[in-house]
Amino acid sequence: MVSPATQSTPPLPAARRKATVHGWLWLLLVMALAAWPLRGLFQQRLLEQTALTDLAPSSEVVSQTIQSAADPVKAILTAWASGHIVPRTVALQELNSLLPKLHPVPESLQTLLSNSALDPDNGIREITLGLMQQMAHPQYPAAVIAQLKNVDPEIRLMALRRVRDLPLELGMPLATQHLNDDDPRIIGTALNLLGRWAHQDFGVRLADTVSVGEDARGIPEFRPATREIAAAGATRARQWLAVHSNEFQFQTKGPLSIEGPNLQMHRVEDFKLQSVDGKSVRLSDFQGKRVLINFWTTWCSACVGEIPTLVELQRRHPDDLVVLGISLDGVPDEHGHIGGHEAHSDGEDHDHEHSPSLKELRQQVAKFVERRGMKYQVLLDPENSVGGRFNGGELPTTILIDKSGILRRRFVGGRNLDVFEAMIGELVPSSNLSAAVVP
């Protein structure tokens, strides 16, 4: 006897099978007809998701997508979560326009700002501090203080200028600590703050310590006596504070750390470009090494001035640091013009009529590399496929990647050798940062 558990189910009669199939077909048809009015919404959501998470979208597309989204806050959070430079930057810019309409500000956006205050990108940090101040974010003081510890003088200067927004008991000791900075601009800013709070004149004006231009590397240049003037003013300030510090109530301790488990860094996606000698090079070829990527062109004076510093960095770190110079020669600007061109005899700009071939670009850049003694790898990116990911149109743009492939810094403009060395020294995996791998 066959047990009930092993009995096979008898086949359905043909008529019943046919009815069942027809039933499913009608159900699918009804579902399709019901969903038809929503097709536009589905398409919009798909386009929105693509624009907000693309590797290298245009700023205009991301901005328009967020502005037209049914839920702008959700769109901003989606763009931010992408981990990509352009969507994240535009998300913060759009948040600036949205903030006056948000009462109260959602906790998700407050958390976003807490995290973005320590973003690898200098520009994002600066936008974030402005937003935190605008909304009176409770962690604004902590965010400012975090920047003052940075090895990049440009970040320290940006933050110290915001110390004036802090209470005297918190700001005064911070300004005092920066009287020993090696950048005259930072010393001058600290003296200005202390003079305002103490109602004292330490004999130094901000105009005495500002830079008067930039050298060939794009690094601030100062008048011959600037450093001496700043140092003398700092000495007078310290002498005054030694006598009068008991007149002020300083806050030197407190809950001023903004670092936390929610802070995420992002892995840099792989890419492939051709070198000046025609070889294919991938970022993943350098797995396990620190990588410095410098976006440059042959016609950018600050980029050219920075080359000796990059050559020296590669010489000092031949085994565990890879310097990649990614040339954006051949990439049209916003007007469709290609930089480094020569004017035609008719005085008109014809660059938009003829774009150099990859072969022509390779020959042009290769000659430049040889003439300048660029002893590090140089790649070509005439389509801006990689430069567009990091908003490399601002030149020179530098990004630093640690041994785990995590983006640790992005900044625009030149830095001196000592600052580069300090930044490179930080490129080790950090246990207090969680790495989000961006697909």
Q: For residue 169, give Cα distances in angstroms to 187, 254, 324, 382.
A: 19, 12, 46, 53
364 within domain boundaries: yes
Coil vs helix vs strand at 398: strand
The predicted pLDDT at position 396 comes to 95
159 falls within a domain: yes
Cα gap 388→397, rounded to integer Å? 11
| 121 Cβ contact partners less than 8 Å away, ≥ 6 residues apart | 85, 88, 89, 409, 410, 411
Q: Is residue 303 domain-shared with residue 177, that is, in the same domain?
A: no
Residue 51 lies in a domain: yes
**Same-domain check for residues 295 and 411:** yes
222 and 90, same domain (yes or no):
yes
Domain assignment present for 110: yes
Three-state DSSP state, 26: helix
- pLDDT per residue of the chain (439 residues) written in tens, 0 to 9: 444 444 444 554 555 554 454 555 555 555 555 554 544 444 445 455 566 877 788 889 899 999 999 999 999 999 999 988 999 999 999 999 999 999 899 999 999 999 999 999 999 999 999 999 999 999 999 999 999 999 999 999 999 999 999 999 899 999 999 999 999 999 999 999 999 999 999 999 999 999 998 888 889 999 999 999 999 999 999 999 999 988 887 765 544 566 544 556 789 999 999 999 999 999 999 999 999 999 999 999 999 999 999 999 999 999 999 999 999 999 987 666 676 544 333 344 444 456 788 899 999 999 999 999 999 999 999 999 999 999 767 899 999 999 999 999 999 999 999 999 999 999 986 554 444 433 2
Answer whether 0.75 is exceeded by the pTM. yes
- Give the residue ranges of DSSP H helices in 317-379: 358-372
In this structure, what token pair is assigned to residue 160? Answer: 């110290």
In a domain, 69, yes or no: yes
Q: Please tell me the distance from the alpha carbon of residue 40 to that of residue 46, in angstroms, as a whole number.
A: 10
Strands 290-296 and 280-282 come out as unpaired
Domain membership of residue 196 (yes or no) is yes
**Within this chain, do residues 306 and 169 fall inside the same structural domain, yes or no?**
no
Looking at the 3D structure of the chain, how many domains does it have?
2
* CATH code where residue 226 lies: 1.25.10.10
The answer on 271 and 190 residing in a single domain is no
Query: Tokens in use for 358?
Result: 């990859």
Do both 196 and 142 map to the same domain? yes
Q: Are 419 and 152 in contact (CB under 8 A)?
A: yes
Q: Are residues 131 and 211 in the same domain?
A: yes
Structural domain contains residue 256: no
Domain boundary, last residue among 247, 280, 308: 247
Same domain, 183 and 132: yes
Q: In sequence order, which residues have a C-beta less than 8 Å from that of residue 292 and are 6 or more positions away?
A: 310, 313, 321, 322, 323, 324, 398, 399, 400, 401, 420, 424
Query: What range defines the domain where residue 401 resides?
Result: 267-334+356-436
Q: Give me the pLDDT at residue 253, please.
A: 53
* Cis peptide, bond prior to residue 167, ω within 30 of zero: no
Q: Which two tokens stand for residue 414?
A: 């030149």
Tokens of 367: 């000659």
Q: What is the pLDDT of residue 217?
A: 85
